[in-house]
């Protein structure tokens, strides 16, 4: 084998191996149709991160549709002989646009605190509240328990009950 043929074969082998290298050749193998899927963040919508306050949406019992009937709770009180209060204090601790999430959070808090939770809908949010306190001091005590569970953005709301 001559020296020139040896050099020729070495060059061919080097070219072949450089063509099989793992380095990209300048073109990306990424499919442009799936680029948005990698960059999409479902929690990145600003409107879903907004904290709804009582000042923005005043709470009136007749404006909301309760998923649980409050009348049932107060019928038991009337049978015992106690008067139905005109207003109660509750702790507003969570708001979401998703009804399933609202039920999960309400069930969790109800099991942790052994207090009745209420899910009220006032477009576009499901508001989760807990308790039916007769005094604001009692509601503030419940507020401390809710904050201890991790719901730091909670507050006490006054609910006007419907009178029959």
Q: Which CATH class is domain 47-160?
A: alpha beta
Q: Start-end ranges of CATH 3.30.70.1070 in the chain?
A: 47-160
**Number of C-beta neighbours around residue 30 at 10 A:** 9
Residue 86 reports pLDDT greater than 80? yes
Residue 158 reports pLDDT greater than 80? yes
**Average pLDDT of the residues in 43-67:** 56
Average per-residue pLDDT for the chain:
76
User: In whole angstroms, what is the distance from residue 94 CA to residue 127 CA?
Assistant: 6
Q: At 148, is the pLDDT very low, low, confident or very high (cuts 50, 70, 90)?
A: very high
Q: At 161, is the pLDDT very low, low, confident or very high (cuts 50, 70, 90)?
A: confident
Q: Which residue has the higher pLDDT, 42 or 107?
A: 107
Residue 119 reports pLDDT greater than 80? yes
Q: Report the pLDDT value the prediction gives residue 1, as an integer from 0 to 100.
A: 63
Q: Which of 122, 130, 119 is nearest to 154 (CA)?
A: 130
pTM: 0.50
- Peptide bond preceding 124: is omega within 30 degrees of 0, i.e. cis? yes
DSSP state of 22: S
DSSP string of 94-147, one letter each residue:
EEES-HHHHHHHHHHHHHHH---EEEEEETTEEEEEEEEESSHHHHHHHHHHHH
């Amino acid at each position: 084998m001559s020296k020139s043929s040896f050099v020729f074969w070495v060059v061919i082998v080097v070219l072949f191996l450089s063509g099989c290298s793992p380095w990209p050749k300048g073109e990306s193998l990424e499919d442009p149709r799936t680029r948005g899927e990698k960059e999409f963040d479902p929690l990145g919508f600003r409107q879903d991160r907004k904290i709804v306050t009582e000042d923005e949406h005043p709470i009136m019992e007749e404006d909301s549709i309760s998923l649980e009937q409050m009348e049932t709770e107060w019928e038991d009180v009337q049978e015992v002989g106690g008067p139905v209060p005109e207003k109660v204090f509750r702790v507003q601790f969570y708001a979401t646009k998703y009804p399933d999430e609202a039920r999960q959070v309400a069930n969790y808090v109800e099991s942790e605190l052994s207090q009745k939770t209420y899910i009220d809908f006032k477009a576009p949010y499901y508001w989760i509240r807990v308790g039916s306190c007769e005094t604001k001091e009692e509601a503030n005590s419940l507020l401390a328990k809710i904050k201890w569970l991790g719901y730091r953005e909670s507050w006490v709301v006054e609910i006007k009950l419907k009178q029959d």
